[in-house]
Structure 1
């Protein structure tokens, strides 16, 4: 049965929207029950950065068979051996566990500038975020390899993680890059419609095969590139845990592959932890989605560009 983790604020919005739109009452009731459990639990989770446990969403007959094996759950912020979280539980021999991380924050993230394939570097906050997630991952199950987009913001994040996990090499893979956003790249997002209306219209099109002028990718092209890349990594690492550092729009494409249609992924935060299990039989299981509990001291940026529909 599918379950998904969200910050507490998102749960309240989900429940309100489901009732106001007249959606299947089971979905809304499950949301409210999870909220009640949150506030009545003897040890409620106070950290809003941590994903929410066991929220049952979108349990509808057309999607049930398709997503019954998907278990989106929380990992513990303390990472102790007594917790049966995805960071310490055994990996089935016929699956690869891929921990997919969004890169740390950049100055362009904080200023709302569109990055795409342009090579912005991490800012100081981004480096602190990368150090925090690296420390977390080093205390979890052994990592066999670290892969990364070859763009600087992802590569530097990956290098910090690899060092913390006692790995000497980061395997660079251009297929893990962000969506190419064509002529929009380098523009501040709020100015994009005015400065390049043609590219902005293409970007905003509901057609998933719509490319963006200036060499920009369509959503279909991004989806194909990212899913093929993760499947290629999975085939090399059956029974192992590996890390892949990528980008917000790229992660959203992976979510679409693993989750049933209509399930909202929310915003993908900088250095969020997202864990996928992939098998040769074409099973994709999301074990953890959007966990930023490691950023409780560092802080994380909710207003910057990227990680939502604006990044692909």
Structure 2
């Protein structure tokens, strides 16, 4: 693959769901957006992205992400749209549908918390498995950037995915990488062949939507 591919990658989290409000682990359960509660955040995100033109869009195939994409109106008729299962949330296995108080006294849950999400979740994924599928997606995205000349890409995904991408590109800790619903990150990336970041290096990043004080 050719080196020195530059792309602006905008990655946003889906809007609020009923399980978000109840603080339940959603994982890969196909939970829809909670409307009208989600509308405020979605409309702010739509405004933040208004006028931007994306060369390609990727979205998790779960409906809360597909609904978010519809709400923010970022797709144009000629924009390639890819439903991407590799952008699904971490598989929370036995934790899905449960809240902290139901799990806090379980030894395997305490061990998972203490490992900063690295351990295998019973019946679910480990952080390494999530990173592996994100590596595969980033590799394929690099091939598409090279083949089609993409310069700006949008991805609609989940909080755990964005947390892992922030660990990769911003070199921050697991607990610092969270983003709220209908928010995300913008990364300016360069592909430098195969390296310890899976080929992609981040030149700079910012919040989406930008905080008001960053627009002054």
Shorter-chain TM-score bucket reads: 0.7 to 0.9
Q: State the partner residue of 1:51.
A: none
1:290 aligns with 2:207: yes
Shift of 1:261: 5.5
Compared with structure 1, are the counterparts of its residues 208 and 121 closer, same or farther at alpha carbon in structure 2 (3 Å cutoff)? closer
How far apart, in 1, do the equivalents of 2:83 and 2:21 lie? 25
**Alignment partner of 1:145 out of 56, 68, 75:** 56
The equivalent position to 1:131 in structure 2, one of 43, 52, 70, is 43
Change in Cα spacing, 1:221 to 1:251, as seen in structure 2 (3 Å) is same
> Which has the larger strand fraction?
2
1:219 partnered with 2:131: no
Say whether 1:250 aligns with 2:161. yes
Say if 1:107 and 1:146 are closer, same or farther in 2 by CA, change over 3 A. Answer: same
Normalization by structure 1: what TM-score? 0.56
CA deviation after TM superposition for structure 1 residue 181, in Å: 0.6
| 1:159 pairs with 2:70 | yes
Deviations 1:21-44 (A, max 9, x none): xxxxxxxxxxxxxxxxxxxxxxxx
Of structures 1 and 2, the one with the larger relative CO (CA 8 A, separation 6+) is 2
Structure 2 CA distance, aligned partners of 1:160 and 1:145? Answer: 17
Contact 2:89/2:161 (<8 A) preserved: yes
Contact 2:87 2:161 in 1 (8 A): yes
Normalised to the residue count of structure 2, the TM-score between the two structures is: 0.79
Which structure 1 segments of 5+ residues have no match? 1-92, 296-312
Matched length: 198
* Deviation, structure 1 residue 240: 1.5
User: In the TM superposition, what are the counterparts of 1:76-115 in structure 2 within 5 Å?
Assistant: 94-115=5-26
Take 1:201 and 1:139, find their aligned partners in 2: how far apart are those partners? 45
Provide the aligned C-alpha RMSD in A.
Answer: 2.7
Contact 2:23 2:99 in 1 (8 A): yes
Aligned to 1:117: 28
Name 1:272's counterpart in structure 2. 183
* Structure 2 stretches lacking a partner, 5+ long: 193-198
In the TM superposition, what is the alpha-carbon distance from 1:263 to its structure 2 partner?
9.0
2:89 partner SS = coil
Larger mean Cα displacement after TM superposition, 165-174 or 247-256: 165-174
Q: Which 4+ stretches in 1 moved above 6 angstroms? A: none
Asked whether the 8 Å contact 1:119–1:152 carries over to 2, the reply is yes
The 8 Å contact of residues 98 and 241 in structure 1, kept in 2 or not, is answered as yes
Compared with structure 1, are the counterparts of its residues 261 and 144 closer, same or farther at alpha carbon in structure 2 (3 Å cutoff)? closer
Q: Answer yes or no: is the 8 Å Cα contact 1:159–1:170 preserved in 2.
A: no
Residue of structure 1 aligned with 2:103, choices 173, 192, 209 = 192
